[in-house]
Amino acid sequence: MTTIALAGKGGVGKTTIAAMVIKHLAQTRSGAILAIDADPSSNLNMVLGLDLEWTVGEIREGMLEQVKQSLGAGGAAMGALSGGMSKRDFLDYEIRSSVAEGVKFDLIAMGRSEGPGCYCAVNHNLREVIDSISRNYRYVVIDNEAGMEHLSRRTTRNVEKLLVVTDPTQRGLAAAARIAGFRHELDIEIDEAYLILNGLAGDAIPAPLQETIDALDVPLLGTVPRDDELIAFEFSGRPLVELGDDSPVYRAVAAMIDSIL
């Protein structure tokens, strides 16, 4: 199993890049792909053209509410469910039922972040369930929020490729530098990290941006051009995986993925 995680501040196009990664893997590599939407906004399903019925966050909160009703508000994370079902079995069944199925790729959406209270035991069970599901796939692609919260909680164990996405601005590169640096603080193993410059107008990177990129501790993997067809897809809500293989955005991402796999 190969795990590819994407991170970047809001609005830089990491979900777009994630969609192109998944499209390319589905078209050119053998084996099924699991997409994990770890951004609370949960819109990866839209660019993949999949319906999303519920998220892991909703399942988790629903389970804890059942425990609270059985035991009262105290100790909800450690209690049992009515009917004798363990929390682990409940989460396993519900999460597997929540998987949105596509052709060669499926999707799990993490959804909302945690509410008040202790979630340590629940998160441990979540990790076990998602690890168990992930082992059935050749590739796992994780679309993270900027702070990589789900990675920091070890929702997944190891990441072979971390793709840090930025727009072509100094502010975007400053955010990318913070995110790339954050990988050293995570209690998981990240084999390789790369920078992707998204939405570049023209063929050349402006000199001031290139100077900043050269000073980062994460190498530039490549650039993705600004593309009017992609913008039209975004306006219409059409799934981005339907972009043609001749799309300059798709070709750029495909070439980058081929170079690191």
What's the pLDDT score for residue 156? 56
Cα–Cα dist 153/134, whole Å: 17
Do the beta carbons of residue 25 and residue 141 sit within 8 Å?
yes
Cα–Cα dist 102/33, whole Å: 10
pLDDT tens string 58-100: 777 777 777 666 665 444 444 556 566 677 787 888 888 889 9
Mean pLDDT of 176-202: 88
pLDDT tens string 29-65: 999 999 998 877 768 999 999 988 888 877 777 777 7
Angle between helices 14-28 and 248-260 (to 10 degrees): 70
Domain boundaries defined on the chain: 2-260
The CATH classification of domain 2-260, taken from the options 3.40.190.10, 3.40.50.300, 3.20.20.60, 3.30.300.10 = 3.40.50.300
What's the pLDDT score for residue 73? 47
pTM tops 0.85: yes
Beta bridge partners of 166: 197
What's the pLDDT score for residue 75? 47
The encoded tokens of residue 30 equal 């053998």
Q: Given pLDDT bands bounded at 50, 70 and 90, which one contains residue 244? A: very high
The encoded tokens of residue 99 equal 């998987």
The encoded tokens of residue 109 equal 């959406």
In the chain, the percentage of residues whose pLDDT exceeds 90 is: 51
Question: Are β-strands 158-166 and 33-38 bridged in parallel, bridged antiparallel, or unpaired?
Answer: unpaired
Residue 10 phi, psi dihedral angles, 5° rounding: -60, 140
Cα–Cα dist 163/217, whole Å: 13
Examine the pLDDT at 236 and tell me if it is beyond 50. Answer: yes
Q: Which residue has the higher pLDDT, 9 or 239?
A: 239
Q: Which residue has the higher pLDDT, 21 or 145?
A: 21
Residue 168 phi, psi dihedral angles, 5° rounding: -85, 60
Cα–Cα dist 241/219, whole Å: 27
CA distances from 174 to 9, 33, 185, 243 (A): 10, 32, 18, 30
Cα–Cα dist 157/139, whole Å: 14
What's the pLDDT score for residue 123? 64
